[in-house]
Structure formats: structure tokens, C-alpha cells
């Protein structure tokens, strides 16, 4: 079932909350039909997992990412450091034309890689470039209309052609991850955990005595791949949109730059600057609304019977919360089809929150990665704009 225009009024929103508030994880029909291997979306990891596996992996992921600095000052420092490298790399082009998207992709990836693997890669490192290429390619393949159709109507599976390349890429990515955790195992010290993979391996060792454990290598490979893809592709795509829109609307770019110079000056951008930068905040929100990078959200499933706007929806219904229908809802936005930062500003130029701003999903479903996504986006946008535009 597709839910459109989840009108953010209290009444409807409460019901949508109810629908999504028991976070039954994305339920990919492929799994249930025993064809999961065809797309590689088996029910492990976090993004396409469900049931107990999803709960255990989600809990572990959130705790561990926090332990390694996510949503805290530590990740801000890492972001500032990484965008220093990005600024240097852009500077070294000496004004000649270059493809910024690859560098942005690499810089964003290094943030998540620093948590997952405890190190950063040089932007020219061939192994790193290959991992990025595999991830980009799989995102492209997974976003093909046929694959989307298959997820919604699995009986169309016979039309699917993209799966072979997708599986091959996934295997290559997993081989690298596997080699990394074999390497980590050699020097593992549970009292000195260096990164996400170490933390998982420690859990794995603690779990050794149990028969039905969750901390097995398949889950680790899938988690790393999920976080890499979810963390890198979303932020890079949004940043690419930001730069495109800044170029297209130079007057917006000028105002952002003026605010950055006035508030941040030559200091590193920090999350606490945010409240003093309503215009930049509005621009980042508007980029996310306008770019609309996950128009279909991830699929969910109703946790209980519910009646919404007079329609009875039984428990277990496959739900697609159509985010695009809210992000472009004519009743919520003055100029839904235009890039218009004023959507998030009041008459005095103060930032205003909007209920219909839901790029991180709908209803009460808690998107636990908002903190890092917002920090990353804000700092990532600020640094290059400050230095180069």
C-alpha cells in the first residue's frame, strides 16, 4: 500500500505515527519468497533486515556508532579534519575544471570509514576508489525502475536483469570487508577497541558459546556495506545537489557566504554556529526538500490493524510511505516545485521548522542517524562554500 500526502496535521499525523511507530523494519518481498539471493538483499544487516535480527543489529549499530563519536564533538572534529583535506585537494586544482563529485564522495566516505575501519584513505588510493565505484554502481543498479518494481510486485521477478552485476559487486565489496576483519582479528584487544569492526568481533567472541547468535560474519559484512552505502550515497548526493543549486542560484550562494564569513569567520565550522545561521540552515533544509533523494522512503509494514482516513489497513500490510508526496505537497509549500529557501524562513529571516519536512522518513519512525547526517551536511556544505565560492 502506498501512503501519499501524509498531511502533517495533528490528527492524521497521529495515525501515521501509529502506523509507523512500531518500527517494523523494511520488509523486502524478496526475502519472504526465498529469492533473497537474487538481489543480495537477504534479511541480515540492518537496512533490509527484519524481526529480531534487525532489532539486535540496530541496537548494536547505534550504541557502537555513538561510542565512536557519532552525534558528538568527536565526529565534528573528524569532519573538520576531512574537509581540510577536501579543501586542499580542491585548492590544488588551481582553478582548472575538475569533477568535484568524486572528491566529495571520497571525503564523505572517509568520515564513515573512520568509524568503521578506524582510518582514512587517500583520495587516490586505488582500493578506496574501487570500493566507492562498487557502491555507486550498486546504488544505480538498485535504483533501476525494474528493481523497484520487483520490490513492490515480486511476481515480476522474471523481468529482472540487473541482479548478476549487483551480486558480483557485492561479493567484491564483501571480500574486502572480510579481509579487513580477518586482519583486525589478529590484533584484537577487547580492552582497546579501535573501530566498529573490532566492537563487532568482540561481541562475536562473547557470543561464541550460544548456538543462535547474531554476531556472525554475514551480519558484519552486511552491516558494514549498509552503513557505507547509506552513509556515503545519501550525503554525497545531497552535497552534489547543494553545489548544483548554489551554482544555479548565485544570489543564494552569496547570502550563504556572507553569513558564513560573518558568523564563523576563519574558525572551523561547528554545530553550535547553526543557531546563528538561519539562512544557511534554511538553504540546507531546502536542498534536502528539493533534492528529495529518497522519494519512496524504505518500505515498512503495519504493526497492527489501523484505520486511516476511513480505510482499514490490516496488520502486516506492506507500506510505501511516499515521501515525495509530502515534500512537494502544494498545501504545505508556497512554491513546491521551486528551490526556495524562504520556505524555512519567517518574515524576520528567522529559521522556521516545517512538519512537512520529512526527508528522513515519516511519522514517528525514529531515524537515528539524523544527528550525524545533519552535522555532516552542515559542515560539509560550509567548508567548501567558505573557501571556494
Dig out the grid coordinates for 268 from the structure. Answer: 572551523
Residue 7 vs 21, nearer CB to ligand HEM? 21
Residue 277 vs 381, nearer CB to ligand HEM? 381
Length of the chain: 389
Cβ(375)–Cβ(75) below 8 Å? yes
Among 294, 313, 320, 322, binds ligand HEM (CB under 6 A): 294
Helix (H, G, I), strand (E, B) or coil at 306: strand
| Residue in this structure with the C-alpha cell 579534519, named with its chain if needed | 81
Among 373, 380, 381, 383, binds ligand HEM (CB under 6 A): 373
Dig out the grid coordinates for 117 from the structure. Answer: 575501519
CB of 191 vs ligand HEM, minimal distance in Å: 26
Residue 75 vs 277, nearer CB to ligand HEM? 75
Cβ(203)–Cβ(63) below 8 Å? no
Among 361, 375, 379, 382, binds ligand HEM (CB under 6 A): 361
User: Which 13-72 residues touch ligand HEM, going by CB under 6 A?
Assistant: 25-26, 46-47, 58
Residue 58 vs 274, nearer CB to ligand HEM? 58
CB of 238 vs ligand HEM, minimal distance in Å: 4
Among 359, 378, 381, 384, binds ligand HEM (CB under 6 A): 359
CB of 262 vs ligand HEM, minimal distance in Å: 26
CB burial readout 76-100, b (16+ within 10 A) else e: bebbbebbebbbebbeeeeeeeeeb
What separation, in Å, do the N-terminal and C-terminal C-alpha atoms of the chain show? 45
Nearest to 111 by CA among 383, 298, 386: 383
* x-or-dash string of contact with ligand HEM, 90-129, rule CB under 6 A: ----------------------x-----------------
Helix (H, G, I), strand (E, B) or coil at 272: helix
Helical ranges in 143-249 per DSSP H = 145-152, 163-186, 196-207, 217-248
**Torsion sign (Cα): 249, 255, 256, 261:** positive
Residue 214 vs 365, nearer CB to ligand HEM? 365
| Residue in this structure with the C-alpha cell 562554500, named with its chain if needed | 385
What's the rounded Cα separation, in Å, for the pair 204 and 223? 14
Nearest to 33 by CA among 151, 198, 131, 142: 151
Nearest to 299 by CA among 233, 362, 357, 355: 362
Among 222, 297, 380, 386, binds ligand HEM (CB under 6 A): 297
Among 360, 379, 385, 386, binds ligand HEM (CB under 6 A): 360
- Interface with ligand HEM includes 298 (CB under 6 A)? yes
CB of 266 vs ligand HEM, minimal distance in Å: 27
Residue 47 vs 142, nearer CB to ligand HEM? 47
- Interface with ligand HEM includes 2 (CB under 6 A)? no
- Interface with ligand HEM includes 222 (CB under 6 A)? no
What's the rounded Cα separation, in Å, for the pair 143 and 145? 6
What's the rounded Cα separation, in Å, for the pair 121 and 106? 8
Among 365, 380, 384, 386, binds ligand HEM (CB under 6 A): 365
- Interface with ligand HEM includes 231 (CB under 6 A)? yes
Residues that bind ligand HEM (CB under 6 A): 25-26, 46-47, 58, 112, 226-227, 230-231, 234-235, 238, 293-294, 297-298, 359-361, 365, 367, 369, 372-373, 377
Amino acid at each position: 500500500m502506498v501512503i501519499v500526502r501524509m498531511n502533517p496535521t495533528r490528527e492524521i499525523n497521529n495515525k501515521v505515527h501509529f502506523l509507523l511507530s512500531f518500527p517494523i523494519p523494511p520488509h523486502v518481498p524478496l526475502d519472504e519468497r526465498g529469492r533473497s539471493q537474487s538481489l543480495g538483499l537477504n534479511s541480515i544487516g540492518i537496512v533490509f533486515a527484519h524481526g529480531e535480527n534487525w532489532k539486535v543489529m540496530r541496537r548494536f549499530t547505534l550504541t557502537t556508532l555513538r561510542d565512536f563519536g557519532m552525534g558528538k564533538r568527536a565526529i565534528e572534529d573528524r569532519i573538520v579534519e576531512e574537509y581540510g583535506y577536501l579543501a586542499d585537494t580542491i585548492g590544488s586544482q588551481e582553478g582548472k575544471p575538475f569533477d568535484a563529485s568524486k572528491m566529495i564522495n571520497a571525503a564523505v566516505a572517509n568520515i564513515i570509514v573512520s568509524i568503521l575501519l578506524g582510518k582514512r584513505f587517500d583520495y587516490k588510493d586505488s582500493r578506496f576508489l574501487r570500493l566507492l565505484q562498487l557502491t555507486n554502481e550498486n546504488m544505480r543498479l538498485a535504483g533501476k525502475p525494474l528493481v523497484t518494481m520487483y520490490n513492490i510486485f515480486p511476481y515480476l521477478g522474471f523481468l529482472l536483469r540487473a541482479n548478476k552485476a549487483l551480486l558480483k559487486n557485492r561479493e567484491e565489496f564483501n571480500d574486502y570487508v572480510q579481509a579487513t576483519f580477518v586482519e583486525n582479528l589478529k590484533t584484537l584487544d577487547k580492552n582497546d577497541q579501535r573501530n566498529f569492526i573490532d566492537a563487532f568481533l568482540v561481541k562475536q567472541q562473547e557470543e561464541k558459546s550460544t548456538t543462535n547468535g547474531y554476531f556472525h560474519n554475514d551480519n558484519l559484512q552486511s552491516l558494514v556495506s549498509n552503513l557505507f552505502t547509506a552513509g556515503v550515497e545519501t550525503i554525497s548526493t545531497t552535497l552534489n545537489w547543494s553545489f548544483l543549486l548554489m551554482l544555479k542560484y548565485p544570489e543564494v550562494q552569496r547570502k550563504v557566504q556572507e553569513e558564513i564569513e560573518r558568523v564563523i569567520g576563519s574558525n572551523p565550522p561547528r554545530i553550535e554556529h547553526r543557531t546563528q545561521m538561519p539562512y544557511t540552515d534554511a538553504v540546507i533544509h531546502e536542498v534536502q526538500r528539493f533534492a528529495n533523494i529518497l522519494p519512496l522512503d524504505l518500505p515498512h509494514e503495519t504493526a497492527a490493524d489501523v484505520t486511516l482516513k476511513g480505510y482499514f489497513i490490516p496488520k502486516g500490510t506492506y507500506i510505501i510511505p511516499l515521501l515525495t508526496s509530502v515534500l512537494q505537497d502544494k498545501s504545505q509549500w508556497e512554491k513546491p516545485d521551486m528551490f526556495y529557501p524562504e520556505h524555512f524562513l519567517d518574515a524576520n529571516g528567522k529559521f522556521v521548522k516545517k512538519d512537512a519536512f520529512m526527508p528522513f522518513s515519516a511519522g514517528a519512525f525514529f531515524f537515528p542517524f539524523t544527528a550525524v547526517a545533519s552535522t555532516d551536511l552542515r559542515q560539509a556544505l560550509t567548508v567548501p562554500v567558505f573557501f571556494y565560492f
